[in-house]
Amino acid sequence: MSTDGYVREKLAAGVSCLVGIGGIHSRLVNAFISMTTINGSNFSDEALGKRFDALYSRVTSVSAQGGEGTIQATINTMSDEDASGVAHELFDLYASALRALKK
């Protein structure tokens, strides 16, 4: 599988976590945990990579407390509106990656 194929697979896994049972916060945590093996340097499209890194930084900006990780700690501080906005940004990034990344 190409690097772009792997990136698309991981983004798809993240987006798929956004639908289903649970509140937006728990679904968003699961989405980003499922994508911890990629970062912006994995994208052949530099602009998409920068978008991913910015979004990932947004959900890892709060230090972990106790047994939680930085993703959980950060998303727990977000309002429903902010969490929903991040989910929409992730979906838009995924849609953009489907159009831009090599098959």
Q: What is the pLDDT of residues 22-65, one digit of tens each?
A: 999 999 999 999 999 999 999 999 999 999 999 999 999 999 98
**pLDDT for the residue 36:** 96
Q: What are phi and psi of 18, to 5 degrees?
A: -75, -15
Q: 64: helix, coil or strand?
A: coil
d(C-alpha 48, C-alpha 69), whole Å: 25
Handedness of CA 59, 38, 41, 9 (dihedral sign): negative
How many percent of the chain have pLDDT more than 90? 85
**pLDDT for the residue 2:** 66
Q: Note the pLDDT tens digit of each residue in 62-80.
A: 999 888 999 999 999 999 9
**pLDDT for the residue 103:** 57
